Structure 1
Amino acid sequence: MTPSGSVNAPDVDAVVVGAGFGGLYALHALTGQGFTVRGFEAAPGVGGVWFHNRYPGARVDIECYDYCYYFDPDLYAEWRWTERYPSQPEILAYLNHVADRFDLRRLITFETWATGAVWDPALHQYTVTTSAGESVTCRYLVMATGQLSSSRTPDIPGLGDFRGRWYETSHWPREEVDFRGRRVGVIGTGSSGTQAITEIAKTCEHLYVFQRTPNYAIPARNGPVDEERYRRIAEDVPAAWRALQRTAAGAVMPTFHGPSTDFPPEEQRRLISERWRWGGQSINAIFSDQGTSEAANELVAGFVRERVREIVRDPAVAEALAPDAYPIGTRRLAITTEYYETFNRPNVTLADIKADPIERVTESGIKTGAAEYDIDILVLALGFEAFTGSLDKAGIRNEKGHSPTSGWDKGPRTYLGLMTRGFPNLFIVTGPGSPSVLANMVAANVQHLDFVAGLLRHMAENGHTRVEPSAAAQREWSEHVQEVARPLLRYRHDNYMVHVHPETGERNFIPYVGGFDRYVRACQEIAERGYDGFEFAS
């Protein structure tokens, strides 16, 4: 919607980087408002993390009813999920269906990534350079690259000496990896690692699981789709979307019963048992004080440890797997199927690398201080450079030559997790300071991008070509993000959501923990006030 015929008109109104759930919806939402758009995606197809994270056992930990688009009632009604928690192939098929149904591929240049994006303060536009050597000018730059998409670089000594094959869960090959008759090692027992372990153990000759810190692995209770629930949502998708935006996590699930102190011990245990049987993320929301009270949290954490000791037959292995290094819910839960049962298999060995650390990778496997493990295939489930990894790799620079994260030494500073001052017209979808990884990412992406589309429409209608948050609005929002986080156990325990200053030890909680519902209301109120907190120029 740049004025046609303008000498300084950019090539397109917006460049969208990424073609996952956020990127596809950005293309659809912005073109629907009449903006011209180019999309760039490093992979050869759509899907984002669901294109790359195709490791064995990969599946989502949000129920299918909510982990999908609500913007088109016909789309919701016509797509049929087969499982409560869909697997990677099914999610990727869904995203391909969406791309084809709304003719979005024509807007995307695949196997191409942004290598730089420089802001021109005179023309109010970015020049985006790509790995293909192309330069594209745009008024707006939309980073839909996700917050958990840039994998950590493996820094294990000797990895280059390994004569076997090694893979990262975050960038799994498209061809099938055959584990039959192979000795396999998995390093990492986070969300991806626990899923991969349960599947690989079924076919390999022997599996060695290298665990540093035991994780809370909660049963998913996966199964067929509840057709009645799906039908009720499909009957009135707009109403269901409004209801979804009134939930704390952008997903419909059982929620808090009240503070733990309101219930006698036998009732506390009954409620925890009930939620264990329901499965999934809802175990984080049994008692309203389990996120702030060590005693309340221990009721739930202790219950999980009891189940581990019940399930795992070898007492020593059970004790090593029982999570006790941090309160439950202060790090990401692993939602799995028969994870603990896997350690009852005769072909699975747990190696405690906190007690006996890995020294190096050798030509034939893994060497710890006390043992050597012969391995044919090594699987690295090491997590991501959360929040800033993909943003840094895009090479974004303002007129001062600064990157968006260069001023974040004390933690990210944003307005709504959407923009950061000093970088006009740059939108960071589901960024730091938004509910981000604490919410259903599909709902969060759509809500964010609807807000962006409305903001850009407001600018077009008023002749504005430049927008950034005011210093006061960014400061107040950043302070609010910390204010709602400080009472939480999450804030006090190290995890990827907490930025700790290396010199001062100052803690800064990265996502917004006030709730998806509260965040949505804040955005709606800001939009109704004419996008209060944003500064515009022409």
Structure 2
Amino acid sequence: MTQTLPDTSSAEATTQLEALVIGAGVAGIYQVFQLKKLGLKVRGYEAGSDVGGTWYWNRYPGARFDSEGYIYQYIFDEDLYKGWSWSQKFPGQPEIERWMHYVTDELNVRGDFQFDTRIAKAVFDERTERWTVTTDTGEVIDTKFLVTCAGMLSAPLANLFEGQDDFTGEIFHTSRWPREGVDFTGKRVGVIGTGATGIQVIQTIAADVDQLKVFIRSPQYTLPMKNPDYGPTEQEWYHGRFDELRSVIPHTFSGFEYDWEHPWHDTSPERRREILEEIYEDGSLKLWLASFGEMFFEQDVSDEISAFVREKIEARLQDPELIDLLVPRPGEFGFGTHRVPLERGYYEAFHRPNVEAIGVRDNPITRIVPEGIELADGSVYELDIIVMATGFDAGTGALTRIDIRGRGGRSLADDWGREIRSTLGIMVHGYPNMLTTAIPLAPSAALCNMTTCLQQQTEWITDLLAYMGEHGYDVVEPTEQGEEEWVQHHDAIANATLVSKTSSWYNGANVPGKPTGRVLSYVGGVGAYRQQADAAANGGYQAFRFE
């Protein structure tokens, strides 16, 4: 069907830019800094009232890193890295938000952001070969480049149940938590969702509420978090590793400091068990991301490691009914094919007399009624507060909720509604001069220490724009063939793994109507992706067309 080019003639631009950056999180802050350094007239736009991105919006009880703090940092500047010291191995949200303010001020980019402003529409004008961008406040911006740093988990699934507006209590989505906090004292609280976020909330508030009802649909494999405090000795230790970390973490599988060390088939069964026990005791994500890589490809390896993790969880729960609700069943899905959360006392929370686990896999939530939550069998749980830890439209949602129009008036929401595609997770064919981070088909879409991947992508984008300036180009767009080759490469790797055979938000299965035939994240590894991206640049950007 032929599309009509949107008429933008009536939209008179009030702001002229060379680059507009959407988002003031880890990617947006660094991207604005780099483009300023490149000499471009750039401005960042942020829906929130301040910098922070994920760490501005997600201030729910228990929110914290599950990447080690000294890894979740910028590594392009030694003084910036050493100028901040974490108080714990896995710091909590208030400290993380303070760190975001620290880097913003050190990089002197706070004045380059416009806050409390949401991008509503962006249209590529083929006559001027520039983007016309409209904000929710009515500002119209004319910009050469549109750079999206809107985040991979920033479009919450909040309006999921009939009757939410009729609830007489309070409903909070974890990613839109009020800055003033929520008083749970003496309240009957229901939590919907037991993914990474729900787990953090549940283990944190269980002791504070009068009653806690946890509605459980999908059990999780988890790992215990060990979170020691960091004092001067520990801070000096990791500060002294700056050069080592800068050289290692961009090239590992996951963008962490650790990587695959143990070949499954060359290791005896006894030694495998010893290794699993040793890594499990590390209290980090290492068992998932640096134990036996064969678990992602070979069903028998996945089964054995999954059984090991189930054994650990069941030993803590003991209660058969809780085990049935909270532990994945054999053959359901393998450890590591879903996002693996870290937890601290999560299972023990269910042993408290004021906490009730409610299975909704076979008896789903049907609606929110004025007094609480109603299930399919007609039972109603009366509540004062409902916490929605219901996840996100991952990878795509941040951009499909903006009306983005490319060549010929084509809609990004419509295009991705049919098939989710990109070139390197950095551009999309049909959308010239739109550069992207944390979208599908790159590790930053789901499977990466985010600062590692977002630094790499923003640096790649900056180098591309510098290349264009040096060669006198005004427009860049991936070719149709170049994009198809990347999609095929991505799929060949993803489809060889057990991740592609598992229903989860990793392939969009949590969002009704979202295409689920493609794994959102590039699963070939952070280091391998970097090699591919560098090769594309060093080879003269052959997958791209310039004007």
Distance 1:312 1:370, change over 3 A: farther
> How big is the shift at 1:176?
1.8
Distance 1:280 1:49, change over 3 A: same
> 2:364 — aligned with what?
357
> 1:486 — aligned with what?
495
Distance 1:383 1:510, change over 3 A: same
The alignment status of 1:243 with 2:248, answered yes or no, reads yes
Distance 1:224 1:298, change over 3 A: same
> 1:411 — aligned with what?
419
> How big is the shift at 1:313?
4.0
Distance 1:87 1:119, change over 3 A: same
2:424 & 2:180 partners in 1: Cα distance? Answer: 40
* Superimposed CA distance per residue, residues 320-356 of structure 1 (whole angstroms, 9 cap, x where no aligned partner): 2112231111111111111111111111110011133
Distance 1:457 1:471, change over 3 A: same
1:422 & 1:258 partners in 2: Cα distance? Answer: 43
Structure 1: segments with no counterpart, 5+ residues:
1-7
The alignment status of 1:277 with 2:287, answered yes or no, reads no
> How big is the shift at 1:533?
1.6
> 1:348 — aligned with what?
355
Aligned positions of 1:124-135 closer than 5 A: 124-135=129-140
> How big is the shift at 1:267?
2.3
SS in 1 for 2:294: coil
Greater Cα offset, 216-225 or 330-339: 216-225
> 1:455 — aligned with what?
464
Q: How many residues align?
A: 529
1:164 & 1:353 partners in 2: Cα distance? Answer: 21
Distance 1:505 1:178, change over 3 A: closer
SS in 2 for 1:272: helix
Q: Indicate if the aligned counterparts of 1:313 and 1:344 stay in contact, CA closer than 8 A.
A: no
Q: Indicate if the aligned counterparts of 1:187 and 1:380 stay in contact, CA closer than 8 A.
A: yes
Distance 1:246 1:297, change over 3 A: same
Distance 1:471 1:254, change over 3 A: closer
> 2:3 — aligned with what?
none
* Superimposed CA distance per residue, residues 395-448 of structure 1 (whole angstroms, 9 cap, x where no aligned partner): 111241112243335532211110011100001112211111101111111110
Distance 1:118 1:410, change over 3 A: closer
> 1:93 — aligned with what?
98
> 2:341 — aligned with what?
334
Q: Indicate if the aligned counterparts of 1:10 and 1:125 stay in contact, CA closer than 8 A.
A: no
Distance 1:504 1:422, change over 3 A: closer
Q: Indicate if the aligned counterparts of 2:45 and 2:115 stay in contact, CA closer than 8 A.
A: yes
Aligned positions of 1:258-407 closer than 5 A: 258-259=263-264, 261-284=265-288, 285-324=290-329, 325-368=332-375, 369=377, 371-407=379-415
Greater Cα offset, 413-422 or 351-360: 351-360
Which residue among 483, 497, 517 is the counterpart of 2:527? Answer: 517
SS in 1 for 2:392: coil
> How big is the shift at 1:211?
0.2
2:128 & 2:135 partners in 1: Cα distance? Answer: 20
SS in 2 for 1:55: coil
> How big is the shift at 1:358?
2.0
SS in 2 for 1:25: helix
Q: Indicate if the aligned counterparts of 1:186 and 1:208 stay in contact, CA closer than 8 A.
A: yes
* Superimposed CA distance per residue, residues 240-261 of structure 1 (whole angstroms, 9 cap, x where no aligned partner): 32321111111112534112x3
Q: Indicate if the aligned counterparts of 1:255 and 1:282 stay in contact, CA closer than 8 A.
A: no
SS in 1 for 2:197: helix
> How big is the shift at 1:219?
0.8
Aligned positions of 1:471-510 closer than 5 A: 471-498=480-507, 507-510=517-520
2:541 & 2:246 partners in 1: Cα distance? Answer: 23
Distance 1:252 1:145, change over 3 A: same
Instruction: Calculate the aligned-residue CA RMSD, in Å.
Output: 2.2
1:17 alignment partner AA: I
2:24 & 2:270 partners in 1: Cα distance? Answer: 49
SS in 2 for 1:509: coil
Percent identity for Structure 1 against Structure 2: 35
1:264 alignment partner AA: S
Greater Cα offset, 54-63 or 491-500: 491-500
1:223 & 1:233 partners in 2: Cα distance? Answer: 14
Greater Cα offset, 28-37 or 393-402: 393-402
Distance 1:235 1:34, change over 3 A: farther
1:299 alignment partner AA: E
* Superimposed CA distance per residue, residues 208-257 of structure 1 (whole angstroms, 9 cap, x where no aligned partner): 11000111121111112386675455346355323211111111125341
Q: Indicate if the aligned counterparts of 1:410 and 1:506 stay in contact, CA closer than 8 A.
A: no
* Superimposed CA distance per residue, residues 432-473 of structure 1 (whole angstroms, 9 cap, x where no aligned partner): 111111011111111101111111011111111000112221
Distance 1:238 1:286, change over 3 A: closer
> 2:8 — aligned with what?
none
Greater Cα offset, 102-111 or 151-160: 151-160
Distance 1:289 1:24, change over 3 A: same
Aligned positions of 1:103-142 closer than 5 A: 103-142=108-147
Q: Indicate if the aligned counterparts of 2:215 and 2:360 stay in contact, CA closer than 8 A.
A: yes
> How big is the shift at 1:364?
1.7
Aligned positions of 1:222-233 closer than 5 A: 222-225=227-230, 230-231=235-236, 233=238
TM-score, structure 1 normalization: 0.94
1:142 alignment partner AA: V
Q: Indicate if the aligned counterparts of 1:217 and 1:339 stay in contact, CA closer than 8 A.
A: no
SS in 1 for 2:251: coil
> 1:214 — aligned with what?
219
1:84 & 1:336 partners in 2: Cα distance? Answer: 14
1:461 alignment partner AA: E
Which residue among 462, 467, 480 is the counterpart of 2:476? Answer: 467
2:186 & 2:106 partners in 1: Cα distance? Answer: 42
2:416 alignment partner AA: W
1:362 alignment partner AA: V
Structure 2: segments with no counterpart, 5+ residues:
1-12
2:344 alignment partner AA: T
The alignment status of 1:446 with 2:455, answered yes or no, reads yes
SS in 2 for 1:96: helix
Q: Indicate if the aligned counterparts of 1:148 and 1:384 stay in contact, CA closer than 8 A.
A: yes
1:374 & 1:224 partners in 2: Cα distance? Answer: 39
2:360 alignment partner AA: I
1:108 & 1:341 partners in 2: Cα distance? Answer: 44
1:435 alignment partner AA: P
1:409 & 1:131 partners in 2: Cα distance? Answer: 24
